Structures are given as structure tokens and as C-alpha cells.
A and B are shown apart, each in its own frame.
Chain A
């Protein structure tokens, strides 16, 4: 069991090496990158905006409902919403959702190419299939922090609307809260995490799709396994990065 996991990890790193080998012609790569930006980034914006706005609202309401002591200032609702959204919800929670959305898309599309011999066709033609398939995804996901930035903004906006229009706090209180004890490094920390998660989101699902064996059923299984491993590595790296950067 342990040997199998270690061999998979080794194979993953060998795959990463191959992704940067023998680059595809730039004119072709440019088109692939633009297509991946459309598939992975633009197509994810809708769901990210929707979830961020409403979860931000829920965080705000739940904080407000737990502030039963009249001595605790109302601006804490804004403060708690900001901290939750910037530190954890936007970078980590959204990345886990993206492991399901983007990750299963990547695994199933590459897996289907494997099953239907399209990857063999690339290799026979002399194309480095790993560079052709995975590198554009990595470059496209350099824009992932942009998605997370939107998520942060909409999460806080959702929190503000829920607090103000739900009658839990005034707009002034909420805005005071989101400005209270603001530490700019928290933004840096969130974006460092985001870059690491973007790398994991591009490579782990690609690995599971590329090396899958079997037919249509196995493509489905590979997507599930890929989601589990991407989520696990995101959670673990989140813990490690938090320990390294915030303590």
C-alpha cells in the first residue's frame, strides 16, 4: 500500500518534469492557453460569484446571531466576515469547490482522450502530450488568484448586504469592522495559498486523467479519485502554509 502511494507520488513528479520538456510550438500553445482560460477560468466565474456572495451573507448572519452580548460591538460582524472570507473561505473553500468543478473537468477530458487513443495519436505524431495537455492548464491557472480576488470581494459584499438589509448592523458598523485591525500580509498569505492551490488544481487532476487505464467507467472513477486527492492535498498544504506563514 505504502509502496504504491510512494510510486504514485514519484510518477507525479516525473510527470511534472515532462510537462516542462520539449515545448509545443508557441503559435499552437497560445491558442491552447486561451482555450484553457475560457474553460477553466471564465467558465468558473459564475459558480464562484454565486457561492461567494451567499456564503459571505451566511457568515455575516451567523456571526450576528452569535453576538448576543450587548457589550460586543456590532462592527465585529464586518470584522469576522472579512477575516473568514479572506483567510479561509475564498482561497481554501473555493479551491475545494474548484477541485470538484475544474478538477473533474480536467480528469475526465484528459481521461477520455486516453481512452479514445487521442493521447497515443499525439505521441505517435511526435508531440509531447504532457506539455501539450497540462502546460496550458498551468498557465491558464495563473489567473486563478483573479477568481479568488473576485470571490473575496463578493463574499464581503454578500456579508455587508446580509448585515445591513437583514437589520443586523448598520452599514457604518460593518465597514468599520472590515477596516478594523487590517493586516495587509493576510492578503499576501491568501494569494500565496491561492497560487499553490492553482498548481495543485492543474496538475493532480491531469495526473489522474493522463495515467488512467480502462474505459468510460474508469474515467468516472478517476474523476472521483482525482477530486479526493486534490481536496486532501489542498487541505494539507493549507495547514502547512498557515503554519509556515502565520505563526
Chain B
């Protein structure tokens, strides 16, 4: 579980996060949604320790990040898996080397043990034929799968995904969403996904945190979205014609 308490973050005069408090639950896919510029990425980067919040605390299963020593922070980071928007695979390495990188860096496993684990996670993300390929030889969807494999190879307790569907076609997006959800449940991981893809929200949104101009404007589940009267979230969700039609149909049924 990740608990965020009253997080504030500014860049110069611009206040990007204005006192965000929420809880990201274990074994669930927690989604941060909001318009571009709402502070989603800054919140995610604050959770990852890339940005240091000006105020407030972030605790990982009771461990308050800002109170940890450098060594403890480094140890905590080995419990984190991250899927970047552009996959962030290392260009100079093959798929196998990319996936095995965290094991090589942070464990004392033998080459054979690393190979066994890498083969297992590559198989888990359905990428059997790509072991020796370089990232440039893979499609966007395959790159995302490699990124997911790399993120889970070291059995993380926390998985963060920054817009995992960006640049993917709808079918591949659903496959990637479902893969993340399956992994979250299977390994009981606290997963936090930053997205503005409403299909993802409807597919895997077990907990949704909606940000608007740096403020937590709404939180709930995907089912709650259709019932809520909160104008901020309804404006955002029903900006899509498809969702307007879904809501109309649901209202008619009721």
C-alpha cells in the first residue's frame, strides 16, 4: 500500500500539486487520470522519488520515503518496477539483457539463475521469439511488453506505469492493460498507472484518482464514475462522444 499525505510540489512560481492525499491499494490497479497538465506525471514522479515534494509525505507500507536513509531509499527502489511512457529500454542491449538488467545489478544470482528467471518473465509477457532482438527491432506493443517484463523480473512490490498505452492501437492497448492487471493480481503488487485513456479506466480501473489543476478532484472505482454527480470527473469522462452515448444508454435503462 502506498499512502500519500498532503503532497505539494511547485516548479518556480507554478504550483503543480496542491495538497494531494490518497491511498493506492495493494493487489489493485490504481489509476491516476486527468487532463494534460493536471499534475499526473509530477505525482507519479514524486511517488518514484524523481521529484522531491515540497510538502507532505509518501509512505510505502509504512516506510515514509523522506525519512529513509540513502541506503534504505536505494533498497526501496529495488522493490519498484517502472514502465515508462516510451518504454525506456536500453538501446544497446537485447531484450534478454534488458530484462535481466535489474537482476544483474541488484542480486547475487548466477548467470544460469538469471537466464531461468528472464526466460520465465519473457514467457509470461508472451514474447518468446524476441530474446536476442534489440529494442529497435520491436513494435511499440512488444517494447511495452519487454518494459513490463523488466519491471516485474525482480519481483517488485510496487509497479508504476506512465501512460502504458500511449502510441498503441486499441487492441494492443487492451492486451497491455490486461497483462498489467493480471500481473498485479497474480503477484499481489501495488500498481499505479498514469493514464488519460478512458478505455483503460473502464477495463482495469479498480481505484481511480482524478486530478484537476493539481487538486484531487475525485476518487472512486470505475463503477462509481457512472453514478457520480461530481462535475469535474463527468466533464472529463464525457468529453468523449462514446462515453456520452454509454451514459445516455445507461440512464435510459435505469
Contact = CB atoms under 8 A, between A and B. Distances in A.
B77 interface: yes
Given A24-B105, A123-B50, A124-B50, A117 B77 contact: no
B74 A126 contact: yes
A115 to B, nearest CB: 9
Interface in B43-78: 48-50, 73-75, 77-78
B140 interface: no
Nearest to B108: A25
Interface in A96-129: 112-113, 116-118, 120-121, 123-127
A117 B90 CA distance: 10
Consensus secondary structure, chain B interface:
mixed
Interface stretch (B5-13, B81-89, B178-186): B81-89
B53 to A, nearest CB: 16
A117 B105 contact: no
Consensus secondary structure, chain A interface:
helix
A116 B88 CA distance: 6
B144 to A, nearest CB: 13
B102 interface: yes
A28 interface: yes
Nearest to B106: A126
Nearest to B70: A22
Nearest to B79: A126
Interface string A28-54: 100000010000000000000000000
B229 interface: no
Given A126-B74, A126-B78, A121 B104 contact: no
B85 A117 contact: yes
A124 B158 CA distance: 12
B90 A118 contact: yes
Chain B interface bracket (under 10, 10 to 19, 20 to 34, 35 or more): 20 to 34
A121 B82 contact: yes
A27 B103 CA distance: 12
B86 A116 contact: yes
Contacts of B73: 126
A35 B102 CA distance: 19
B88 A121 contact: yes
Given A25-B105, A126-B74, A126-B106, A118 B80 contact: no
Contact of A124 (B48, B90, B105): B48
Given A117-B88, A124-B82, A125-B105, 20 more contacts: A22-B74, A25-B104, A28-B105, A112-B91, A113-B91, A117-B84, A118-B88, A120-B50, A120-B84, A120-B88, A121-B82, A121-B88, A121-B90, A123-B50, A124-B48, A124-B49, A124-B160, A125-B82, A125-B102, A126-B74
Closest 8 CB pairs of A and B: A126-B77, A117-B88, A121-B88, A126-B74, A117-B84, A124-B82, A118-B88, A126-B78
Interface of B: 48-50, 73-75, 77-78, 80, 82, 84-86, 88-92, 101-102, 104-106, 160
29 contacts: A22-B74, A25-B105, A27-B104, A28-B104, A35-B92, A112-B91, A113-B91, A116-B86, A116-B88, A117-B84, A117-B85, A117-B88, A118-B91, A120-B50, A120-B84, A120-B88, A121-B82, A121-B84, A121-B88, A123-B50, A124-B48, A124-B50, A125-B82, A125-B102, A125-B105, A125-B106, A126-B74, A126-B75, A126-B78
